[in-house]
Amino acid sequence: MWAFSKTPCGHILSVVDFYGVLIVSILILLFDCITIICLRAKHASVKSHNPGTTHTNVARQRRQKMESRFFKQALCENALFIFQHVSFYRIGSLTENHWAKFVAGTLLWELCHALDGIIVAVFHSRIS
């Protein structure tokens, strides 16, 4: 089971690590929101200004679908890692039971990394 040490230095590291990850996650969500706004604006302007041929419309639709999948993948992965960090820092600190700390911390940490691989496979399989 992994945990920060119960010293003043360990507490400082815990706080710095938690808020560092939180700030990075918020920035990623902000960039994701900016990205979706830009993608929608780009798709709307291309569609209204350039009707194009059937071939270019099909290619544009494929590209838009791929961009949409990448965006959804990024959102899912970020949500997963935010959940993992909240679980590790907040839920794990609510209990003194070693098994509960193990599940909230170490086990969920590994499970999130496994689920990240599944997210990549789901969004980029030939079926989707």
pLDDT single digits (tens) 35-80: 888 888 887 776 666 666 666 778 778 888 888 888 889 889 989 9
In a domain, 33, yes or no: yes
The mean pLDDT value of the chain amounts to 83
pLDDT single digits (tens) 16-25: 988 998 899 8
Segments forming the whole domain that contains residue 52: 9-123
**Distance between CA 36 and CA 89 in Å, rounded?**
30
**Distance between CA 46 and CA 60 in Å, rounded?**
9
In a domain, 128, yes or no: no
Q: In which band, very low, low, confident or very high, does the pLDDT at 116 lie, cut at 50, 70 and 90?
A: very high
Report the domain count for the chain.
Answer: 1
Question: How much of the chain, in percent, has pLDDT values that exceed 70?
Answer: 88
Position 20 scores a pLDDT of 92
**Distance between CA 122 and CA 110 in Å, rounded?**
19
In a domain, 88, yes or no: yes
Long-range pairs of 124-127 with CB within 8 A, sequence gap ≥ 24 = 124/69, 124/73
In a domain, 3, yes or no: no
Identity of residue 12? I
The pTM is what?
0.71
